[in-house]
Amino acid sequence: MTSDTLFSKIAKREIPADIVHETDRALAFRDIAPQAPVHVLVVPKTIIPRIAEASPEQAELLGHLLLVARDVAAKLGLDATGYRLVINNGSDGGETVPHLHVHLLGGRPLAWPPG
């Protein structure tokens, strides 16, 4: 059994967050340290530590996270100008919370490469 994470505690409403969207399997909330005018995290309610640890049986959930990110982007008006989705994996990838999450970034032009 995986221990609770910061994000699972948010999903269980043990820690407050600015929630923008919720489904039975995922939660989307604003990042507390935004890197763009819009910075939302989309997390599965089931703890998957990182994308490298996702199983083939979780493929539908992984796809669901991307569709939720798409829906949130549209809800926040980003679909007209564009947005970026990012998944960090491991310390060199910038992962800081061991709970898979999709960053939805937008609201300004985003440079490439991201640094």
Q: Which CATH number covers residue 26?
A: 3.30.428.10
Task: Identify which has the larger pLDDT, 52 or 115.
Answer: 52
Domain presence at residue 21:
yes
Beta-sheet strands, E only, within 37-82 = 38-44
Token readout for 92 is: 């060199």
Span 6-53, pLDDT tens digits: 999 999 999 999 999 999 999 999 999 999 999 999 999 999 999 999
pTM over 0.85: yes
Angle at 12 between CA 105 and CA 23, to 5 degrees: 55
Active-site annotation, residues: 101
Rounded Cα distance between 85 and 104, Å, is 5
Three-class DSSP category at 112:
coil
Count of the separate structural domains present in the chain? 1
In a domain, 89, yes or no: yes
- Residue 93 maps to a domain: yes
Question: Is-cis flag, bond preceding 113, omega within 30?
Answer: yes
**Residue 51 placed within a domain:** yes
* Residue 1 falls inside a structural domain: no
Would you mind telling me the total number of residues written for the chain in this entry?
A: 115
